[in-house]
């Protein structure tokens, strides 16, 4: 691993594969396990970086595909790179753009070289290859960058997934060759769909490349939650123990708890901010629609045990009023609370692992059930 990055394991659970670690990057540390908020277009929607920091966020994501289309990586670089451009001085991660491009099923063509698609902004033809994705991510300048991978849809045949997994490995080698910056860590991504033997083979092959970190991708694409758990259980333990492990696109309480028990360290998901924009608060594992009549005259905080700015200063009645009036402040206050809630959930798991109380304190979240 490059000297600017390190992963130190501080404690392991005696009952599961859960672990507590510190991932060091050029822009600071990430205490794992940890939830990472998503700032698609170089901002976490409706939050200033100062508000974001107060939620307990350490590493923040941004999307290569979206930033390439608007404003373009040259403008981000002209603004001093992603950190300076968006005013976030902490660790950052960009994805490869692959996931978004593969979601454009109507408008794209996949070849061995890469993916050709039409920009939904202006109709321009864009050719995204492993080399181009890495070049864009090198220009954006996040601390962690992701390999360009082929994310097969769900459902897909074994043959289709096998071909995509093999191509993902060839593309990873091209990404490694194209990567130019030693102050950025390139993570490889394990694919393999819901076929556990393909997942295991991919994990073993990637582990041999001695990358600074590893991700499990292609989950949360429509498959049932119990399949996500099996995929993670079959994959995470095969990845090198001295490197961070990141489960992409997963951020519900139960899925995170189960993945942490398999040895996963990092998570991201748009759920807390997306739900905030729908007027939904995440409170102690439940979802509340603030438009519900019962909140109109409820003058208590969302969660009286929550230390976030929203819960310390506002009532359910006030937030309900803002949501009903479609005031932007509603989305800000709910995003602050929802992100704080998910980060706190992973922090509490961290403390429980340190005290070896994880399976006892989080038993409720470690069994299959409601998504939560």
Which residues are designated catalytic?
95, 268
Span of 7-15, 262-270, 302-310, 323-331 interacting with Zn ion by CB under 5 A: 302-310
Among 247, 256, 311, 330, binds Zn ion (CB under 5 A): 311
Q: How far is the CB of 311 from Zn ion (least distance, A)?
A: 3
CA distance 347 to 203: 27
CA distance 239 to 264: 10
CA distance 314 to 300: 8
Q: How far is the CB of 90 from Zn ion (least distance, A)?
A: 21
Instruction: List the one residue out of 99, 92, 84, 101 whose CA is nearest residue 36.
Output: 92
Instruction: List the one residue out of 175, 235, 161, 167 whose CA is nearest residue 209.
Output: 175
For residue 245, which phi and psi values (nearest 5 degrees)? -125, 130
Q: How far is the CB of 258 from Zn ion (least distance, A)?
A: 24
Does 236 bind Zn ion (CB under 5 A)? Our answer is: no
Question: Among residues 177 and 307, whose Cβ is nearest to Zn ion?
Answer: 307
Span of 126-134, 140-148, 336-344, 364-372 interacting with Zn ion by CB under 5 A: 336-344
CB 69 within 8 A of CB 41: no
State yes or no: 113 annotated in a binding site: no
Does 283 bind Zn ion (CB under 5 A)? Our answer is: no
Among 42, 126, 145, 308, binds Zn ion (CB under 5 A): 308
What tokens appear for 248 in the block?
């992409």
Does 333 bind Zn ion (CB under 5 A)? Our answer is: no
Q: How far is the CB of 288 from Zn ion (least distance, A)?
A: 12
Instruction: List the one residue out of 62, 28, 44 whose CA is nearest residue 335.
Output: 44
Instruction: List the one residue out of 196, 133, 130 whose CA is nearest residue 167.
Output: 130
> Which residues share a beta bridge with 53?
none
Q: How far is the CB of 363 from Zn ion (least distance, A)?
A: 24
Question: Among residues 255 and 303, whose Cβ is nearest to Zn ion?
Answer: 303
DSSP per-residue string spanning 6-50: EEEEEEE-SSSS-EEEEEEETTEEEEESEEE-B-TTSS-TT--HH
CA distance 87 to 22: 23
Does 41 bind Zn ion (CB under 5 A)? Our answer is: no
Question: For Zn ion, how many residues bind (rule: CB under 5 A)?
Answer: 5
Among 68, 167, 337, 350, binds Zn ion (CB under 5 A): 337
Span of 171-179, 196-204, 218-226, 337-345 interacting with Zn ion by CB under 5 A: 337-345
Does 306 bind Zn ion (CB under 5 A)? Our answer is: yes
- The binding site comprises 95-99, 149, 191, 218, 306, 308, 311, 337
- The binding site for substrate comprises 95-99, 149, 191, 218
Residues found near Zn ion in the complex (CB under 5 A): 306, 308, 310-311, 337
């Amino acid at each position: 691993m490059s000297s600017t990055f390190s992963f130190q394991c501080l404690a392991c659970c005696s009952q599961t594969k859960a672990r507590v670690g510190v991932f060091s990057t050029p822009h600071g540390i990430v205490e794992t396990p940890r939830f990472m908020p998503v700032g698609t277009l170089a901002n976490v929607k409706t939050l200033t970086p100062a508000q974001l920091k107060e939620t307990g966020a350490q590493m923040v994501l941004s999307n290569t595909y979206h930033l390439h289309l608007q404003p373009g990586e040259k403008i981000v670089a002209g603004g001093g790179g992603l950190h300076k451009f968006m005013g976030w001085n902490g660790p950052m991660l960009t994805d490869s753009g692959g996931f978004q491009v593969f979601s454009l099923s109507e408008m794209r063509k996949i070849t061995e070289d890469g993916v050709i698609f039409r920009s939904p902004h202006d109709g321009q033809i864009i050719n995204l290859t492993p080399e181009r994705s890495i070049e864009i991510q090198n220009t954006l300048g996040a601390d962690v960058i992701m390999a360009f991978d082929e994310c097969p849809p769900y459902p897909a045949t074994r043959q289709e997934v096998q071909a995509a997994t093999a191509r993902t490995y060839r593309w990873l080698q091209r990404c490694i060759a194209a990567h130019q910056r030693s102050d950025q860590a390139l993570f490889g991504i394990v694919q393999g769909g819901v076929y556990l033997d393909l997942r295991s083979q991919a994990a073993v092959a990637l582990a041999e490349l001695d990358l600074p970190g590893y991700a499990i991708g292609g989950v949360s694409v429509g498959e049932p939650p119990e399949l996500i758990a099996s995929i993670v259980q079959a994959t995470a333990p095969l990845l090198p123990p001295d490197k961070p492990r990141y489960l992409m696109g997963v951020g519900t309480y139960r899925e995170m708890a189960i993945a942490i028990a398999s040895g996963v360290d990092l998570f991201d998901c748009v759920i807390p901010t997306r739900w905030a924009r729908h007027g939904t608060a995440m409170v102690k594992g439940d979802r509340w629609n603030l438009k519900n009549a019962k909140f109109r005259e409820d003058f208590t905080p969302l969660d009286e045990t929550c230390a976030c700015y929203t819960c310390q200063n506002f009532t359910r009645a006030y937030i309900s009023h803002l949501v009903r009036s479609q005031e932007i402040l509603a989305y800000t206050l709910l995003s602050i609370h929802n992100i704080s809630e998910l980060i706190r959930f992973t922090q509490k798991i961290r403390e429980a692992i340190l005290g070896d109380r994880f399976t006892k304190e989080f038993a409720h979240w470690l069994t299959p059930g409601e998504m939560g």
